[in-house]
């Protein structure tokens, strides 16, 4: 099959491209290589994919450029789209809320329109655990009410889920929305906690710790996330939302301990007040994904952190 992966040069996207190529598909990656973090890191991801010598093409472009998407869809007959491109991160969205709505919401409409107008019937779209907001019920289930977003990023992902339903209901597209829970692993974005902490501890610099260390996240290893994405490509679902998480919560204080052990260095903590937009806990109920996708997360945090640190040390020699 011919797959388009938007955000294909990024952390999750590059791993999805590799898995698709190893599974025998042809892949086009669409990415604007923006400077949210160093574009050279994305170029390195692309070089690693290109080194596989598989049917892979990179297309540089912006989601908000409707003409660029129309040209690409007109030139290549895609069988499926995996839409991962977005402006990411809760905290940066507090600074530039309009940018997040433009790229994430308008960009998603442009991808859905290009698919609709070119008879691409199946699209898998990245959502986020942030849509749950401050959810009193744990673990978080896809059927929970989600009308209490507390960041522009979360609001943009809620809008994308609603748009996905519209394009299924009105235009007959097969749409799966995937709520990712704190993904980590090789190639993780440098602004995310695990990568940032490893870099600062390794350099002997203090790490910023917001709150008392009791906030907890459902950290999900990249290979488990890619397993879930690939399962969505195997058959039609109409319109479905799935949580993809490890279904295991880890407190911030415990996470820091695991990174310290893997690096063999103690962290110097810079205690700071809690951040606006941060939620106290994320915890995925993955029973629906288990039942309908055959999703079975395998990599616990005690295995995943050493795997990440091993990649980090090798890539920073």
The predicted model scores a pTM of: 0.96
179-189 confidence digits (pLDDT tens): 999 999 999 99
74-116 confidence digits (pLDDT tens): 999 999 999 999 999 888 999 999 999 999 999 999 999 999 9
Q: Show which residues are catalytic.
A: 153
195-249 confidence digits (pLDDT tens): 999 999 999 999 999 888 889 999 999 999 999 999 999 999 999 999 999 999 9
| Backbone phi and psi for residue 178, each to the nearest 5 degrees, phi listed first | -115, 115
CATH code for the domain in which residue 209 is found:
3.40.50.720
With b meaning 16 or more CB within 10 Å and e meaning fewer, what string describes 25-38?
bbbbbbbbbeeebe
pLDDT at 277 exceeding the cut of 90: no
Residue 289: give the domain boundaries. 2-315
Count how many domains the chain has. Answer: 1
Residue 279's pLDDT is 78
Before 277, cis peptide (omega within 30)? no
Report, as an integer, the average pLDDT of 122-149. 90
């Amino acid at each position: 099959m011919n797959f388009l992966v938007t955000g294909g040069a990024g952390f999750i996207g590059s791993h999805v491209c590799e898995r698709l190529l190893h599974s025998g598909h042809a892949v086009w990656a669409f990415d604007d290589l923006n400077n949210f973090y160093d574009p050279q890191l994305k170029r390195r991801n692309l070089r690693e994919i290109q080194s596989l010598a598989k049917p892979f093409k990179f297309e540089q472009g912006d989601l908000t450029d409707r003409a660029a998407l129309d040209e690409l869809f007109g030139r290549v007959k895609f069988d499926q789209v995996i839409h991962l491109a977005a402006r990411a991160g809760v905290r940066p969205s507090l600074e530039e809320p309009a940018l997040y709505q433009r790229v994430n919401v308008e960009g998603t409409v442009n991808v859905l329109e290009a698919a609709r107008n070119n008879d691409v019937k199946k699209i898998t779209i990245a959502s986020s655990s942030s849509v749950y907001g401050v959810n009193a019920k744990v673990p978080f289930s896809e059927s929970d009410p989600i009308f209490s977003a507390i960041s522009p990023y979360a609001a943009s992902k809620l809008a994308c889920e609603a748009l996905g339903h519209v394009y299924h209901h009105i235009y007959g597209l097969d749409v799966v929305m995937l709520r990712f829970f704190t993904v980590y692993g090789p190639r993780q974005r440098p602004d995310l906690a695990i990568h940032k902490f490893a870099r600062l501890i390794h350099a002997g610099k203090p790490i910023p710790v917001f709150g008392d260390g009791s906030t907890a996240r459902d950290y999900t290893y990249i290979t488990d996330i890619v397993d879930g994405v690939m399962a969505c490509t195997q058959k039609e679902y109409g319109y479905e939302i799935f949580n993809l998480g490890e279904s295991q919560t880890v407190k911030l204080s415990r996470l820091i301990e695991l990174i310290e052990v893997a690096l063999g260095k103690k962290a110097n903590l810079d205690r700071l007040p809690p951040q606006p937009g941060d939620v106290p806990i994320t915890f995925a109920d993955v029973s629906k994904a288990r039942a309908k996708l055959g999703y079975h997360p395998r990599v616990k945090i005690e295995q995943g952190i050493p795997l990440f640190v091993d990649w980090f040390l090798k890539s920073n020699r």
